[in-house]
Amino acid sequence: MAPHQRFWTVAVITGAVAVSGTVVGVHRSAPATSAPFRPPALTASAHAVRALTPDHNLQGTSDPTPVPTPEPTPEPTAAPTAAAVLAAAPAPPSGSMWFGVLQATEAHAQQEAAAGVTVGELELNWSAYEPGPGQFDAGYASQMRNRLNGLRAAGLNVVLDVGMQYPPAWIFNVDGNTRFVNQYGDVWHGGQSEDVANAVFDNAVRNAEAAYIARVAADLGAGNFWAVRAGGLLQNELRYPHDKYNGHSNAYWAFDAAAQSLSPVPGWRPGQPDSARAAAFMNWYLQSLTDFQTWLTGTYRASFPSAWLQVLYPSWGLRPGDVDLAVQRNLDGSTAAAGWGTLEMGLDWPRQVAALRDSHVQLYNAWMERGDDGSTASTMAPAHYLATLGAARGLRTVGENANPGGSPAMMATVVQRARAWGLSGLMWLDESTLFSTAASLSTYSALIHSS
Protein backbone atom coordinates (compact mmCIF):
# COMPACT_ATOMS: atom_id res chain seq x y z
CA MET A 1 0.00 0.00 0.00
CA ALA A 2 1.35 3.41 -0.93
CA PRO A 3 2.17 5.69 1.99
CA HIS A 4 -0.48 8.22 2.88
CA GLN A 5 0.58 11.83 2.97
CA ARG A 6 -0.58 14.32 5.55
CA PHE A 7 -0.89 17.84 4.17
CA TRP A 8 0.09 20.71 6.42
CA THR A 9 0.47 24.42 6.84
CA VAL A 10 2.48 25.95 9.67
CA ALA A 11 2.68 29.65 10.49
CA VAL A 12 4.75 30.99 13.35
CA ILE A 13 4.64 33.76 15.92
CA THR A 14 7.84 35.73 16.39
CA GLY A 15 10.46 33.15 17.21
CA ALA A 16 12.44 30.59 15.28
CA VAL A 17 12.03 27.14 13.85
CA ALA A 18 14.63 24.71 12.64
CA VAL A 19 14.41 23.79 8.98
CA SER A 20 16.79 21.22 7.46
CA GLY A 21 19.08 21.65 10.45
CA THR A 22 19.17 25.45 10.27
CA VAL A 23 17.56 27.89 12.68
CA VAL A 24 15.53 30.38 10.66
CA GLY A 25 14.12 33.59 12.15
CA VAL A 26 10.66 34.60 11.03
CA HIS A 27 8.26 37.52 11.53
CA ARG A 28 5.10 37.46 13.58
CA SER A 29 2.17 35.95 11.73
CA ALA A 30 -0.89 33.89 12.46
CA PRO A 31 -0.73 30.56 14.23
CA ALA A 32 -2.20 27.76 12.16
CA THR A 33 -3.56 24.33 12.87
CA SER A 34 -1.81 21.17 11.88
CA ALA A 35 -3.10 19.62 8.68
CA PRO A 36 -4.73 16.36 7.78
CA PHE A 37 -3.49 13.13 6.31
CA ARG A 38 -5.53 10.81 4.15
CA PRO A 39 -6.88 7.66 5.81
CA PRO A 40 -6.54 4.19 4.27
CA ALA A 41 -9.12 2.38 2.17
CA LEU A 42 -11.20 5.33 1.11
CA THR A 43 -14.57 4.65 -0.47
CA ALA A 44 -15.56 6.21 -3.78
CA SER A 45 -17.49 8.90 -1.95
CA ALA A 46 -14.47 9.71 0.20
CA HIS A 47 -12.22 9.90 -2.86
CA ALA A 48 -14.58 12.53 -4.24
CA VAL A 49 -13.76 14.91 -1.39
CA ARG A 50 -11.67 17.83 -2.65
CA ALA A 51 -7.99 17.33 -1.77
CA LEU A 52 -5.81 20.14 -0.52
CA THR A 53 -2.63 21.19 -2.27
CA PRO A 54 0.44 20.53 -0.11
CA ASP A 55 1.80 23.76 1.30
CA HIS A 56 5.39 23.56 2.49
CA ASN A 57 5.81 27.28 3.13
CA LEU A 58 6.34 28.28 6.72
CA GLN A 59 4.13 31.34 6.30
CA GLY A 60 0.93 30.94 4.30
CA THR A 61 0.16 33.77 1.92
CA SER A 62 -3.40 33.98 3.21
CA ASP A 63 -2.35 34.42 6.83
CA PRO A 64 -2.89 37.86 8.38
CA THR A 65 0.18 39.82 9.38
CA PRO A 66 -0.70 41.85 12.48
CA VAL A 67 1.73 44.46 13.81
CA PRO A 68 4.00 42.81 16.40
CA THR A 69 3.29 43.70 20.00
CA PRO A 70 5.99 45.60 21.92
CA GLU A 71 6.45 42.61 24.22
CA PRO A 72 9.96 41.15 23.77
CA THR A 73 9.96 37.87 21.89
CA PRO A 74 13.39 36.26 22.18
CA GLU A 75 14.22 33.27 20.05
CA PRO A 76 14.06 29.84 21.68
CA THR A 77 17.25 28.29 22.97
CA ALA A 78 18.90 26.39 20.12
CA ALA A 79 18.35 22.65 20.32
CA PRO A 80 21.22 20.20 19.99
CA THR A 81 21.93 18.93 16.49
CA ALA A 82 20.86 15.43 15.58
CA ALA A 83 24.50 14.47 15.07
CA ALA A 84 25.30 15.35 18.67
CA VAL A 85 22.38 13.31 19.93
CA LEU A 86 23.20 10.33 17.76
CA ALA A 87 26.83 10.33 18.93
CA ALA A 88 25.70 9.29 22.39
CA ALA A 89 25.64 5.57 23.10
CA PRO A 90 22.09 4.18 23.27
CA ALA A 91 20.66 3.59 26.71
CA PRO A 92 17.45 1.82 27.76
CA PRO A 93 14.27 3.78 26.91
CA SER A 94 13.14 6.04 29.70
CA GLY A 95 9.98 4.96 31.44
CA SER A 96 8.93 8.55 32.06
CA MET A 97 7.94 9.29 28.47
CA TRP A 98 6.55 7.18 25.64
CA PHE A 99 7.04 7.57 21.88
CA GLY A 100 4.59 6.71 19.11
CA VAL A 101 3.93 6.98 15.38
CA LEU A 102 0.89 8.06 13.41
CA GLN A 103 -0.45 5.93 10.54
CA ALA A 104 1.23 2.81 11.89
CA THR A 105 1.08 -0.31 9.71
CA GLU A 106 1.58 -4.01 10.33
CA ALA A 107 4.45 -4.04 7.84
CA HIS A 108 6.66 -1.87 10.06
CA ALA A 109 5.18 -2.44 13.51
CA GLN A 110 7.79 -4.97 14.65
CA GLN A 111 10.66 -2.74 13.51
CA GLU A 112 9.15 0.19 15.37
CA ALA A 113 8.66 -1.80 18.55
CA ALA A 114 12.27 -2.97 18.39
CA ALA A 115 13.36 0.66 17.96
CA GLY A 116 11.65 1.70 21.19
CA VAL A 117 8.34 2.91 19.79
CA THR A 118 5.50 1.76 22.04
CA VAL A 119 2.41 3.44 20.57
CA GLY A 120 0.89 3.25 17.08
CA GLU A 121 -2.20 4.93 15.66
CA LEU A 122 -5.02 3.29 13.76
CA GLU A 123 -7.16 5.78 11.84
CA LEU A 124 -10.59 4.92 10.45
CA ASN A 125 -12.77 6.62 7.87
CA TRP A 126 -16.37 7.14 8.94
CA SER A 127 -17.65 7.42 5.36
CA ALA A 128 -16.05 4.06 4.52
CA TYR A 129 -17.25 2.39 7.71
CA GLU A 130 -20.88 3.60 7.55
CA PRO A 131 -21.70 4.46 3.90
CA GLY A 132 -25.43 4.65 4.70
CA PRO A 133 -27.36 5.45 7.90
CA GLY A 134 -26.98 2.36 10.06
CA GLN A 135 -25.39 0.47 7.14
CA PHE A 136 -21.92 -0.72 8.11
CA ASP A 137 -19.34 -2.14 5.72
CA ALA A 138 -18.35 -5.52 7.18
CA GLY A 139 -15.40 -5.82 4.78
CA TYR A 140 -13.95 -2.50 5.85
CA ALA A 141 -14.45 -3.34 9.52
CA SER A 142 -12.66 -6.66 8.99
CA GLN A 143 -9.76 -4.91 7.26
CA MET A 144 -9.37 -2.49 10.18
CA ARG A 145 -9.64 -5.34 12.70
CA ASN A 146 -6.81 -7.17 10.95
CA ARG A 147 -4.69 -4.04 11.00
CA LEU A 148 -5.43 -3.56 14.70
CA ASN A 149 -4.47 -7.14 15.48
CA GLY A 150 -1.22 -6.77 13.55
CA LEU A 151 -0.20 -3.69 15.53
CA ARG A 152 -1.03 -5.31 18.84
CA ALA A 153 0.75 -8.54 17.92
CA ALA A 154 3.92 -6.50 17.33
CA GLY A 155 3.66 -5.15 20.86
CA LEU A 156 2.34 -1.65 20.12
CA ASN A 157 -0.29 0.07 22.24
CA VAL A 158 -2.92 1.25 19.76
CA VAL A 159 -4.45 4.72 19.64
CA LEU A 160 -7.74 4.88 17.77
CA ASP A 161 -8.94 7.73 15.57
CA VAL A 162 -12.50 6.89 14.50
CA GLY A 163 -12.27 9.31 11.57
CA MET A 164 -15.04 11.73 12.49
CA GLN A 165 -13.29 14.23 10.19
CA TYR A 166 -14.31 12.08 7.20
CA PRO A 167 -18.12 12.08 7.57
CA PRO A 168 -20.41 10.24 5.16
CA ALA A 169 -22.48 12.36 2.80
CA TRP A 170 -25.76 11.25 4.37
CA ILE A 171 -25.00 12.98 7.68
CA PHE A 172 -25.69 16.34 6.05
CA ASN A 173 -29.27 15.29 5.31
CA VAL A 174 -30.42 14.25 8.79
CA ASP A 175 -32.01 17.69 9.28
CA GLY A 176 -31.61 21.33 8.28
CA ASN A 177 -28.93 22.34 10.77
CA THR A 178 -26.10 19.99 9.92
CA ARG A 179 -23.70 22.67 8.63
CA PHE A 180 -22.07 25.57 10.43
CA VAL A 181 -23.28 29.03 9.39
CA ASN A 182 -21.53 32.33 10.13
CA GLN A 183 -22.91 35.83 10.68
CA TYR A 184 -22.63 36.60 6.96
CA GLY A 185 -24.89 33.70 6.07
CA ASP A 186 -22.01 31.64 4.67
CA VAL A 187 -22.54 27.89 5.00
CA TRP A 188 -19.36 26.00 5.86
CA HIS A 189 -17.99 23.51 3.32
CA GLY A 190 -14.42 22.38 3.92
CA GLY A 191 -11.73 20.47 2.08
CA GLN A 192 -10.31 17.09 2.97
CA SER A 193 -10.77 16.31 6.68
CA GLU A 194 -12.45 19.70 7.26
CA ASP A 195 -15.90 19.16 5.72
CA VAL A 196 -17.43 18.19 9.04
CA ALA A 197 -20.96 18.25 10.38
CA ASN A 198 -22.16 20.69 13.03
CA ALA A 199 -22.16 18.52 16.15
CA VAL A 200 -21.77 21.58 18.37
CA PHE A 201 -25.36 22.72 17.91
CA ASP A 202 -27.17 19.86 16.11
CA ASN A 203 -28.33 16.99 18.33
CA ALA A 204 -29.23 14.82 15.33
CA VAL A 205 -25.58 14.90 14.26
CA ARG A 206 -24.51 14.03 17.79
CA ASN A 207 -26.87 11.05 17.87
CA ALA A 208 -25.43 9.70 14.62
CA GLU A 209 -21.88 10.16 15.86
CA ALA A 210 -22.64 8.43 19.15
CA ALA A 211 -24.14 5.45 17.32
CA TYR A 212 -21.08 5.20 15.07
CA ILE A 213 -18.65 5.38 18.01
CA ALA A 214 -20.56 2.63 19.82
CA ARG A 215 -20.52 0.44 16.72
CA VAL A 216 -16.75 0.83 16.28
CA ALA A 217 -16.19 -0.14 19.92
CA ALA A 218 -18.39 -3.22 19.49
CA ASP A 219 -16.80 -4.29 16.20
CA LEU A 220 -13.15 -3.74 17.07
CA GLY A 221 -13.26 -4.34 20.82
CA ALA A 222 -13.15 -1.40 23.20
CA GLY A 223 -10.52 -3.10 25.35
CA ASN A 224 -8.10 -3.39 22.43
CA PHE A 225 -7.30 0.32 22.43
CA TRP A 226 -4.89 2.06 24.76
CA ALA A 227 -6.19 5.53 23.82
CA VAL A 228 -8.76 7.27 21.62
CA ARG A 229 -8.22 10.60 19.87
CA ALA A 230 -11.09 13.00 20.62
CA GLY A 231 -11.64 16.35 18.95
CA GLY A 232 -14.67 15.66 16.83
CA LEU A 233 -14.52 18.59 14.43
CA LEU A 234 -12.17 19.83 11.70
CA GLN A 235 -9.18 17.47 11.42
CA ASN A 236 -10.65 15.74 14.48
CA GLU A 237 -9.63 18.73 16.58
CA LEU A 238 -11.67 20.75 19.06
CA ARG A 239 -12.41 23.93 17.11
CA TYR A 240 -14.93 25.83 15.05
CA PRO A 241 -14.24 26.40 11.31
CA HIS A 242 -11.76 29.00 10.08
CA ASP A 243 -12.13 32.73 10.69
CA LYS A 244 -11.79 33.53 6.96
CA TYR A 245 -14.21 32.07 4.47
CA ASN A 246 -15.91 33.02 1.22
CA GLY A 247 -14.22 36.44 1.12
CA HIS A 248 -15.23 37.29 4.68
CA SER A 249 -13.07 37.55 7.78
CA ASN A 250 -13.82 37.55 11.51
CA ALA A 251 -16.30 34.71 10.93
CA TYR A 252 -18.12 33.27 13.94
CA TRP A 253 -19.92 29.97 13.32
CA ALA A 254 -23.03 30.14 15.48
CA PHE A 255 -25.71 31.48 13.17
CA ASP A 256 -27.55 28.38 11.98
CA ALA A 257 -31.14 28.15 13.20
CA ALA A 258 -30.32 25.67 15.97
CA ALA A 259 -27.50 27.83 17.31
CA GLN A 260 -29.48 31.05 17.18
CA SER A 261 -32.32 29.43 19.11
CA LEU A 262 -29.84 28.98 21.96
CA SER A 263 -28.03 32.32 21.70
CA PRO A 264 -28.38 34.70 24.66
CA VAL A 265 -28.41 37.58 22.15
CA PRO A 266 -30.16 36.19 19.04
CA GLY A 267 -29.66 38.39 16.01
CA TRP A 268 -26.67 40.25 17.42
CA ARG A 269 -23.66 40.25 15.08
CA PRO A 270 -19.96 40.62 15.96
CA GLY A 271 -18.87 44.19 15.38
CA GLN A 272 -22.20 45.75 16.31
CA PRO A 273 -22.04 48.15 19.26
CA ASP A 274 -22.88 47.05 22.81
CA SER A 275 -20.05 45.46 24.74
CA ALA A 276 -22.52 43.76 27.09
CA ARG A 277 -23.97 41.82 24.19
CA ALA A 278 -20.51 41.13 22.84
CA ALA A 279 -19.54 39.65 26.20
CA ALA A 280 -22.69 37.53 26.39
CA PHE A 281 -22.20 36.24 22.85
CA MET A 282 -18.51 35.47 23.34
CA ASN A 283 -19.04 33.63 26.60
CA TRP A 284 -21.83 31.55 25.06
CA TYR A 285 -19.83 30.85 21.88
CA LEU A 286 -16.84 29.58 23.84
CA GLN A 287 -18.98 27.69 26.33
CA SER A 288 -20.87 25.93 23.52
CA LEU A 289 -17.64 24.42 22.23
CA THR A 290 -16.66 23.48 25.77
CA ASP A 291 -20.05 21.81 26.27
CA PHE A 292 -19.46 19.86 23.07
CA GLN A 293 -16.15 18.67 24.52
CA THR A 294 -18.02 17.47 27.61
CA TRP A 295 -20.50 15.58 25.46
CA LEU A 296 -17.79 14.10 23.23
CA THR A 297 -15.55 12.87 26.03
CA GLY A 298 -18.56 11.42 27.82
CA THR A 299 -19.67 9.64 24.65
CA TYR A 300 -16.23 8.14 24.08
CA ARG A 301 -15.95 7.13 27.73
CA ALA A 302 -19.27 5.28 27.55
CA SER A 303 -17.96 3.13 24.67
CA PHE A 304 -14.29 2.94 25.70
CA PRO A 305 -14.38 2.72 29.51
CA SER A 306 -10.68 1.97 30.06
CA ALA A 307 -8.90 3.90 27.27
CA TRP A 308 -7.07 7.19 27.63
CA LEU A 309 -8.91 9.99 25.85
CA GLN A 310 -6.60 12.34 23.94
CA VAL A 311 -8.36 15.70 23.49
CA LEU A 312 -6.87 17.50 20.48
CA TYR A 313 -6.34 21.23 21.10
CA PRO A 314 -5.00 22.84 17.89
CA SER A 315 -2.95 25.88 16.95
CA TRP A 316 -1.83 28.56 19.45
CA GLY A 317 -4.75 28.86 21.84
CA LEU A 318 -6.24 31.97 23.44
CA ARG A 319 -3.97 33.60 26.00
CA PRO A 320 -4.72 35.84 29.03
CA GLY A 321 -6.47 39.05 28.04
CA ASP A 322 -7.35 37.99 24.47
CA VAL A 323 -11.07 37.59 25.10
CA ASP A 324 -11.43 40.72 27.27
CA LEU A 325 -9.74 42.92 24.67
CA ALA A 326 -11.88 41.52 21.87
CA VAL A 327 -15.07 42.12 23.87
CA GLN A 328 -14.03 45.71 24.56
CA ARG A 329 -13.91 46.18 20.79
CA ASN A 330 -17.28 44.46 20.28
CA LEU A 331 -15.65 41.49 18.53
CA ASP A 332 -14.96 43.69 15.50
CA GLY A 333 -11.99 41.59 14.37
CA SER A 334 -9.33 44.21 15.11
CA THR A 335 -7.40 42.33 17.81
CA ALA A 336 -4.42 40.06 17.23
CA ALA A 337 -6.27 36.97 18.47
CA ALA A 338 -9.09 37.67 16.04
CA GLY A 339 -6.65 38.20 13.19
CA TRP A 340 -4.98 34.88 13.94
CA GLY A 341 -8.32 33.08 14.10
CA THR A 342 -7.79 31.71 17.60
CA LEU A 343 -10.78 33.69 18.85
CA GLU A 344 -13.25 32.69 16.14
CA MET A 345 -12.11 29.05 16.28
CA GLY A 346 -12.98 29.06 19.99
CA LEU A 347 -9.59 27.95 21.29
CA ASP A 348 -10.23 28.75 24.95
CA TRP A 349 -7.92 26.14 26.43
CA PRO A 350 -8.14 27.33 30.06
CA ARG A 351 -11.93 27.02 29.98
CA GLN A 352 -11.87 23.69 28.15
CA VAL A 353 -9.21 22.10 30.35
CA ALA A 354 -10.96 23.32 33.49
CA ALA A 355 -14.18 21.66 32.29
CA LEU A 356 -12.63 18.19 32.03
CA ARG A 357 -13.99 15.91 34.74
CA ASP A 358 -12.43 12.71 33.44
CA SER A 359 -8.98 12.17 34.98
CA HIS A 360 -8.03 9.56 32.36
CA VAL A 361 -7.49 12.25 29.74
CA GLN A 362 -4.39 13.45 27.89
CA LEU A 363 -4.20 16.99 26.49
CA TYR A 364 -2.82 17.00 22.94
CA ASN A 365 -1.19 19.64 20.73
CA ALA A 366 0.26 19.13 17.25
CA TRP A 367 2.67 22.00 16.86
CA MET A 368 5.90 20.83 18.47
CA GLU A 369 8.04 22.71 15.95
CA ARG A 370 6.93 25.95 17.63
CA GLY A 371 9.26 26.94 20.47
CA ASP A 372 8.90 29.34 23.38
CA ASP A 373 9.15 33.12 22.99
CA GLY A 374 9.35 33.48 26.77
CA SER A 375 8.23 31.96 30.04
CA THR A 376 4.88 33.72 30.50
CA ALA A 377 1.45 32.38 29.62
CA SER A 378 1.37 34.76 26.66
CA THR A 379 4.78 33.80 25.24
CA MET A 380 5.08 30.05 25.83
CA ALA A 381 4.91 27.69 22.88
CA PRO A 382 1.43 26.16 22.49
CA ALA A 383 2.35 22.66 23.66
CA HIS A 384 4.30 24.09 26.59
CA TYR A 385 1.41 26.36 27.60
CA LEU A 386 -1.04 23.47 27.31
CA ALA A 387 1.23 21.35 29.51
CA THR A 388 1.14 24.01 32.24
CA LEU A 389 -2.67 24.02 32.14
CA GLY A 390 -2.70 20.24 32.38
CA ALA A 391 -0.19 20.11 35.22
CA ALA A 392 -2.39 22.41 37.29
CA ARG A 393 -5.17 19.83 36.94
CA GLY A 394 -2.99 16.74 37.26
CA LEU A 395 -3.51 15.91 33.58
CA ARG A 396 -0.90 14.65 31.14
CA THR A 397 0.03 16.32 27.84
CA VAL A 398 1.06 14.78 24.52
CA GLY A 399 2.77 16.47 21.57
CA GLU A 400 2.92 15.90 17.83
CA ASN A 401 5.00 17.48 15.06
CA ALA A 402 3.08 19.44 12.40
CA ASN A 403 5.53 18.87 9.54
CA PRO A 404 5.55 15.31 8.19
CA GLY A 405 9.05 13.96 8.51
CA GLY A 406 11.24 17.02 8.83
CA SER A 407 15.01 16.90 9.28
CA PRO A 408 17.01 14.96 11.88
CA ALA A 409 17.79 18.29 13.58
CA MET A 410 14.09 19.14 13.79
CA MET A 411 13.33 15.68 15.13
CA ALA A 412 15.98 16.21 17.81
CA THR A 413 14.48 19.62 18.61
CA VAL A 414 10.98 18.18 18.96
CA VAL A 415 12.12 15.35 21.23
CA GLN A 416 14.19 17.73 23.36
CA ARG A 417 11.21 20.07 23.80
CA ALA A 418 8.86 17.23 24.70
CA ARG A 419 11.19 16.20 27.51
CA ALA A 420 11.95 19.74 28.66
CA TRP A 421 8.25 20.61 28.87
CA GLY A 422 7.41 17.46 30.82
CA LEU A 423 5.18 15.86 28.18
CA SER A 424 4.11 12.30 28.85
CA GLY A 425 4.33 11.24 25.20
CA LEU A 426 5.16 12.21 21.62
CA MET A 427 3.46 11.02 18.44
CA TRP A 428 5.58 11.29 15.28
CA LEU A 429 3.93 12.36 12.02
CA ASP A 430 4.13 9.92 10.38
CA GLU A 431 5.28 6.34 9.86
CA SER A 432 5.92 6.63 6.12
CA THR A 433 8.46 9.42 6.66
CA LEU A 434 10.48 7.23 9.05
CA PHE A 435 11.26 5.02 6.06
CA SER A 436 11.64 7.69 3.39
CA THR A 437 13.38 10.75 4.90
CA ALA A 438 16.59 11.57 6.76
CA ALA A 439 14.58 11.77 9.98
CA SER A 440 14.46 7.99 9.93
CA LEU A 441 13.40 5.28 12.33
CA SER A 442 17.04 4.82 13.36
CA THR A 443 17.26 8.54 14.18
CA TYR A 444 14.04 8.32 16.16
CA SER A 445 15.31 5.23 17.99
CA ALA A 446 18.56 6.95 19.00
CA LEU A 447 16.60 9.92 20.33
CA ILE A 448 14.23 7.63 22.21
CA HIS A 449 17.18 5.94 23.91
CA SER A 450 19.00 9.18 24.65
CA SER A 451 18.60 10.88 28.01
- Give the model confidence (pLDDT) of 181-217 as tens digits: 999 999 999 999 999 999 999 999 999 999 999 999 9
CA 247 vs CA 241, 251, 262, 278: distances in Å? 14, 10, 27, 23
3-state SS, residue 235 = helix
Lowest mean pLDDT among 16-30, 187-201, 249-263, 303-317: 16-30
Task: Name the burial class of residue 232, with classes exposed (0-12), middle (13-18) and buried (19+) by CB atoms within 10 angstroms of its CB.
Answer: buried
Helix axes 382-393, 408-420, angle to 10 degrees: 30
Q: Give the H or E element holding residue 417.
A: helix 408-420
Contacts of residue 114, defined as CB under 8 A and 6 or more positions apart, other chains included, come to none
| 67 alpha-carbon distance from chain centroid | 27
Confidence of residue 438 (pLDDT cuts 50, 70, 90): very high
Q: Which residues pair with 227 in a beta bridge?
A: 159, 308
The average pLDDT across 12-31 equals 31
Cα gap 140→124, rounded to integer Å: 9
| 186 alpha-carbon distance from chain centroid | 24
Look at residue 91 in the predicted model and tell me its pLDDT: 37
Q: Which residue has the higher pLDDT, 91 or 314?
A: 314
Is residue 358 pLDDT above 70, yes or no? yes
The average pLDDT across 312-339 equals 98
Give pLDDT tens digits for 235-251: 999 999 999 999 999 99
The average pLDDT across 343-372 equals 97
Give pLDDT tens digits for 3-20: 233 333 333 333 333 323
Cα gap 284→291, rounded to integer Å: 10
The average pLDDT across 278-293 equals 98
Q: Is 220 left (phi over 0), alpha (psi -120 to 50) or beta?
A: alpha
Helix axes 441-449, 106-115, angle to 10 degrees: 30
Set out the domains of the chain in order of their start, with CATH numbers.
Answer: 15-449 (3.20.20.80)
The average pLDDT across 393-408 equals 95
Is residue 82 pLDDT above 60, yes or no? no
Look at residue 95 in the predicted model and tell me its pLDDT: 55
| Sign of the alpha-carbon torsion through 246, 249, 252, 256 | negative
Give pLDDT tens digits for 31-72: 333 333 333 333 332 222 222 222 222 222 233 222 222 232
**β-strand 22-26 against 15-19: which pairing, if any?**
antiparallel
Q: Give the H or E element holding residue 113.
A: helix 106-115
Cβ pair 110, 441 in contact under 8 A: no
Q: Give the H or E element holding residue 157.
A: strand 157-161
Give pLDDT tens digits for 94-138: 458 999 999 999 999 999 999 999 999 999 999 999 999 999 999
Cα gap 403→9, rounded to integer Å: 8
Task: Check residue 169 and report its DSSP letter.
Answer: G
Give pLDDT tens digits for 378-391: 999 999 999 999 99
Task: Check residue 187 and report its DSSP letter.
Answer: B
| Sign of the alpha-carbon torsion through 232, 237, 238, 242 | negative
Look at residue 405 in the predicted model and tell me its pLDDT: 86
Confidence of residue 451 (pLDDT cuts 50, 70, 90): confident
